[in-house]
Amino acid sequence: QYMRGTVTAFAPFDARADAEALRKAMKGMGTDEETVLKILTTRNNAQRQEIASAFKTLFGRDLVDDLKSELTGKFETLMVSLMRPAYIFDAHALKHAIKGAGTNEKVLTEILASRTPAEVQNIKQVYQQEYEADLEDKITGETSGHFQRLLVVLLQANRDPDVGVNEALVEQDAQVLFRAGELKWGTDEEKFITILGTRSISHLRRVFDKYMTISGFQIEETIDRETSGDLEKLLLAVVKCIRSVPAYFAETLYYSMKGAGTDDDTLIRVMVSRSEVDLLDIRQEFRKNFAKSLYQMIQKDTSGDYRKALLLLCGGDDD
């Protein structure tokens, strides 16, 4: 798989040496945060797992527990997040999104709209192993209506494979969406859910073009007018990810930092989950769409060791 991450395997890599350096950084009075962040942001996840295992072998201690007891605040959250393998990271984020009072629809939307079918299958498996619970049951227990139905469709991870585009079906789907939305009094949400949730990516990109030709509107404008609330946000996220996952995440990062206050949970979640996948592409889209670099925005919006670590994950400035 072609990866466009900012974090890649570190060489020359020595798990024992890294484990020793981390122990030294956290032992005794005070913590040497600089060493901790330098090591954890420049090794990839597989290497971090090896470091954790060497740490336990050498010192009989759990690296994550030590990080939790030695670090605080957002910096701690970021470092602990970096220690979770990708699918466990997503499963953990989903579990917390549906745990306790109130559901965090934003997290459900972001993860299920942007992950590939294979990734969704892996997340479901890991969720079952880690929490001895069925992810779909948990999500249906906490959501309702058309929003719930589209989440369930996405959880099936049965999107058509990308194998050539059938122009007749493109035309048909575009017409169906047009009739289900703009031409109808009220909206036939089910048609949107089925088509956007199951057709292949390349097919849907053609459908969006055809839709524009038929209706004179971008599909996003129609969704905006015809739906509302959580369903609208999820449909829009699905459409944006079909057009470009990196552009979707660039926008997500931008809005996590724009205006007063920072949505640190989202900032951490995206930076960690995309650092080995497509963060270079996300940076490019960010620069193109928001007239400033991701690096500069993080620099302006965060502080301390948390900022240093995020900037290292960002991997460079695009200005």
Q: What is the DSSP string of 85-118?
A: -HHHHHHHHHHHHSSSSS--HHHHHHHHHHS-HH
Counted domains in the chain: 4
Is residue 176 domain-shared with residue 189, that is, in the same domain? Answer: yes
Is residue 149 domain-shared with residue 125, that is, in the same domain? Answer: yes
DSSP 27: S
Structure tokens at 81: 């997040």
Q: What is the span of the domain harbouring residue 102?
A: 87-156
Q: What is the CATH number of the domain that holds 256?
A: 1.10.220.10
- pLDDT tens digits for 140-182? 999 999 999 999 999 999 999 998 999 999 999 999 999 999 8
Question: Distance (Å, rounded) from C-alpha 32 to C-alpha 35?
Answer: 6
- Residue 28 pLDDT class (50, 70, 90 cuts): confident
Is residue 178 domain-shared with residue 222, that is, in the same domain? Answer: yes
Q: Report the share of the chain in percent with pLDDT over 70.
A: 99
- Residue 2 pLDDT class (50, 70, 90 cuts): low
**Contacts of the segment 206-212: beta carbons below 8 A, 24+ positions apart:** 206/165, 206/167, 206/170, 207/170, 207/173, 207/174, 207/177, 208/239, 208/242, 208/243, 210/170, 210/171, 210/173, 210/174, 211/174, 211/177, 211/178
User: What average pLDDT does range 103-112 have in this prediction?
Assistant: 96
- pTM of the shown model: 0.95
* Domain-terminating residue out of 86, 121, 139: 86
Within a domain: 291: yes
* Domain-terminating residue out of 127, 156, 185: 156
Is residue 238 domain-shared with residue 173, that is, in the same domain? Answer: yes
**Closest by Cα among 17, 68, 72, 61 to 39:** 17
